[in-house]
Amino acid sequence: MSIDRDTFENTSEDELADLSVPDQVLGFLIANDDYAFKAREIASQTGLDEGPVSTALSRLKDRELVEHKATYWAVTDDEERLEGYSGYERATALFNEQLGPEDKDAWREHAPEKAHPSVDTEDDQ
């Protein structure tokens, strides 16, 4: 996974080395918690190989940190469970340093008005 120059210069070698594949995968899913992804999409977006991503997803599922349905993966909505995962704090801190804290209002401002076809809505039922 690539990092920006500022993170490269201001993050210790230990901190960069400590971000494991599961931490990177979980961090990506947390940053995109409104969506579910296929393993290959996660691999492509994070710059990781699909094999390690698939392994990480299985391990994260065993820890009940991600959910799996058909070929899609999403982060759990159990915030207490996430907060208890030590890698979550490291991943969140690193992503916040790189990208800044998430601004939900900015997300809403740019959100499409119509839900993605893969999302069940009450109107469809």
pLDDT at 75: 94
Residue 124 pLDDT exceeds 50: no
Q: Which domains does the chain have, with CATH numbers?
A: 20-100 (1.10.10.10)
Mean pLDDT of the chain, nearest integer: 79
Residue 11 pLDDT exceeds 80: no
**What is the b/e burial string over 53-74, where b = at least 16 CB atoms within 10 angstroms of the residue's CB?**
bbebbeebeeeebbbeeeeebb
Q: Give the mean model confidence (pLDDT) for residues 21-50.
A: 91
Lowest mean pLDDT of 17-26, 58-67, 75-84, name the range: 17-26
pLDDT at 122: 56
Residue 11 CB burial class (10 angstroms; 0-12, 13-18, ≥19): middle
Lowest mean pLDDT of 28-32, 76-80, 107-111, 120-124, name the range: 120-124
pLDDT tens figures, 63-76 = 999 999 999 999 99
The pLDDT confidence band at residue 90, using thresholds 50, 70 and 90, is low
Q: Give the mean model confidence (pLDDT) for residues 70-95.
A: 80
